[in-house]
Amino acid sequence: MLTMRADGKKQFIELETNELSQYTLINNSISQYINKEGSIGDVQTYFIKNLCSIYITVNDTRPYNPLRRDYVMQIVPDKHVTAYE
């Protein structure tokens, strides 16, 4: 599921999936642009300089399935980036 939200001049994107291949594709796509990365609890954080922050949460599926997980990826623009740039 893809959700886009406009808040004034800023665009926020949230992607939810339970497909490991989609998670891997996005993770590999951003890997060359990462300025800084970290982890806050169970949330992976990636900071892409002068563009955005990406927060990825990985949870077990309901009902529990050891082969599937739920991935929630939130893309939050840098405070200086607007939809007009």
Instruction: Return per-residue pLDDT of the chain as tens, 85 residues.
Output: 899 988 888 889 999 999 889 989 988 998 999 999 999 888 999 998 888 999 999 988 888 887 789 999 999 988 877 766 5
Name the strand (E) or helix (H) holding 27.
helix 20-30
What pLDDT is attached to residue 79? 80
What pLDDT is attached to residue 83? 63
Burial 39-55 (b: 16+ CB within 10 A, else e): eeeeebebebeebbbbe
| pLDDT tens per residue, range 9-22 | 888 999 999 988 99
For residues 71 and 58, the answer to whether their CB atoms sit within 8 Å is: yes
